Amino acid sequence: MALSINTRILPVFLAATGYWLCTPILSAAPAANPPYSLSVFARSANGYSQPDSIVQWGNSILVGFQNHVAKDGTDGKSSTIVQYSLDGKVQRTFSVPGHNDGLRIVGESSLWSLQNEDANPNLVVIDLESGQRKQYKFAPTVHGGGFDDIVVQNGQVYLTASNPNTPGGINIFPALVRATLQGDMVVVTPVLNGNADAIDIPTGQVVHLNLTDPDSLTIDPRGNIVLNSQSDMELIFIRNVASNSRHVGHLGIKTAAGPVTVDDTAFAPSSSAFMLFSDVGGDAIYRLDNTQFGFEPGTAYSTSDTAGIVGELNLDNGLLTPIATGFSSTRGMIFVRTADVEQDQ
């Protein structure tokens, strides 16, 4: 990969003046630390830009391009969902109204595409076999914002309630909801409030949550739903989400330099899988391989939107160690299983 220079903004506080100064800094082009190998999977093209969420459907990859659409959808523009082959060739595209952020395969072939995480949310369900689609509406949200990401567990669909109102600085509203389709509506049921209690994983102490920025969702190898509260720089692990014996764990995220936001987290399923992640500001989707050992199954990795890195995440203490750097704003991440990998299992 050829080197280039990226300009990034470093905010510096000038104590003598009491003002923040935004200073451009120069950084090297995207690169991976050995034994990791970085390559470009696909780039923005043909009028679509800002790649974010990524999902796999069989031997295809689907990526949501946000196209600079307003996060509340009020500009009337549309996002683009692009379907790629496993080697990055475009197969087909879909247009969805609003600012796409959440993508998830539900069932065998239904792609749920969630738009407008700040307000005025909508859901488009695309049957990937036929290409047919249907748009669903939400009732006015109790938390005042929209919905951001989607995860499926035991046949149930869960959404993060994003951009909440925070009276007195506290999110007293649901941060995680269960979603069902009724007619042309998405009906949501509260699951976990933004001010719930949790056990801090490093210390074992009870902490009172204040989830002001519910964002991405995934499931860890133990079956816990993992909720990222992005600007709060923490992951929330929810065990037995649908039962009365629910357990909630809290993990603050940091690099060696201090606390850091993360956007997406994924767990390596096997040593033969490879990683894909998006750089929304760089208008590219990258592939990352561990060329020496393969990825250790069960190991967690996260993207940081503000630090522009991909890192290995220590689930005991929340330390994010960079393995690839130099990006604008890393976002969606998945591990890709090829057909050959599936057959070997």
Q: Are 323 and 310 in contact (CB under 8 A)?
A: yes
Q: What percent of the chain has pLDDT over 90?
A: 88
Asked if pLDDT for residue 19 goes beyond 50, the answer is: no
pLDDT for 274: 98
Domain containing 129: what range? 5-344
Task: Inform me whether the pLDDT recorded for 260 exceeds 80.
Answer: yes
Q: What is the mean pLDDT of residues 121-148?
A: 98
Six token digits for residue 253: 């995220």
Residue 198: in which H helix or E strand, if any?
A: strand 197-200
Range 25-31 average pLDDT: 71
The torsion region of residue 124 among left (phi > 0), alpha (psi -120 to 50) and beta comes to: beta
Alpha helix (H) residue ranges in the chain: 339-344
Report the pLDDT averaged over residues 5-21: 44
pLDDT digits (tens, 9 = 90+) for 71-82: 999 999 999 999
Q: How far apart are CA 65 and CA 190, in angstroms?
A: 29
DSSP bridge partners of 8: 25
Q: How many distinct structural domains can be found in the chain?
A: 1
Segment 209-232 mean pLDDT: 98
Per-position b or e across 216-243, b if 16+ CB within 10 A of its CB: bbbbbeeebbbbbbbebbbbbbbeebee
Mean pLDDT value across residues 37-52: 96
Q: Which amino acid is at 265?
A: T
Task: Using DSSP bridges, classify how beta strands 174-182 and 100-106 pair: parallel, antiparallel or unpaired.
Answer: unpaired
Q: What is the CATH number of the domain that holds 180?
A: 2.120.10.80
The mean pLDDT value for 44-67 works out to: 97
Q: What is the pTM of this model?
A: 0.90
Q: What is the pLDDT of residue 3?
A: 35
Q: What is the pLDDT of residues 81-131, one digit of tens each?
A: 999 999 999 999 999 999 999 999 999 999 999 999 999 999 999 999 999
Q: Is 331 helix (H, G, I), strand (E, B) or coil?
A: strand
Half-sphere exposure of 160 (CA within 13 A, CB side): 31
- Residue 138 pLDDT: 98
- Alpha carbon 130 to its chain's center: 27
Arithmetic mean of pLDDT, 259-280? 97
How much is the pLDDT for 27? 55
Tell me whether strands 197-200 and 264-267 are parallel, antiparallel or unpaired.
Answer: unpaired
Q: Which two structure tokens, joined as six digits, stand for 25? A: 């800094």
Confidence tier at 339 by pLDDT (50, 70, 90): low
Supply the pLDDT for residue 343: 43
